Amino acid sequence: MASVELGEDYPEIRESVRRICADFPNEYWRKMDETEAYPKEFVDALTKAGYLGALIPEEYGGAGLPLRAAGVVLEECHGAGCYAAAAHAQMYTMGSVLRHGSPEQKQKYLPGIASGKLRLQAFGVTEPTTGTDTTKLKTRAVRDGDHYVITGQKVWTSRALHSDLMLLLARTTPLDQVKKKTEGLSVFLVDIRECLGKGLEIRPLKAMINHHATEVFMDGMRVPAANLVGGEGKGFRCILDGMNAERILVSHESIGDARWFIRSASKYATERVVFDRPIGQNQGIQFPIARAYASMQGAEMMLRKAAALFQAGLPCGEDANVAKLLASEASWEAAEACMQTHGGFGYAREYHVERRWREARISRIAPISTNLILAYIAEHVLDMPRSY
Cis status of the peptide bond prior to 367, with omega within 30 of 0:
yes
Among 188, 187, 214, CA closest to 203: 214
Query: Given the complex with ligand FAD, which of 213 and 322 has the nearer CB atom?
Result: 213
Site string for ligand FAD, 126-165 (x = CB under 6 A): x----xx-----------------------xxx-------
For ligand FAD, the nearest residue by Cβ is: 131
Report 361-380 residues binding ligand FAD (CB under 6 A): 362, 365-369, 371-372, 375
Query: Given the complex with ligand FAD, which of 22 and 372 has the nearer CB atom?
Result: 372
Query: Given the complex with ligand FAD, which of 11 and 131 has the nearer CB atom?
Result: 131
Query: Given the complex with ligand FAD, which of 42 and 123 has the nearer CB atom?
Result: 123
Q: Contacts with ligand FAD: how many residues (CB under 6 A)?
A: 23
Closest distance of CB 13 from ligand FAD, Å: 26
Among 13, 361, 378, 4, CA closest to 211: 361
Closest distance of CB 133 from ligand FAD, Å: 7
239 binds ligand FAD (CB under 6 A): no
3-state SS, residue 214: strand
Q: What is the 3-state secondary structure (H, E, C) of 20-47?
A: HHHCCCHHHHHHHHHHCCCCHHHHHHHH
10 binds ligand FAD (CB under 6 A): no
The answer to whether the CB of 185 falls within 8 A of the CB of 229 is no
Report 210-229 residues binding ligand FAD (CB under 6 A): 211, 213
Nearby residues of 12 by Cβ (< 8 Å), 6 or more positions away: none
**DSSP assignment string, 318-377:** HHHHHHHHHHHHHHHHHHHHHHHHHGGGGGSGGG-HHHHHHHHHGGGTSSS-HHHHHHHI
Name the residues that contact ligand FAD, by CB under 6 A: 123-126, 131-132, 156-158, 207, 211, 213, 362, 365-369, 371-372, 375, 387-388
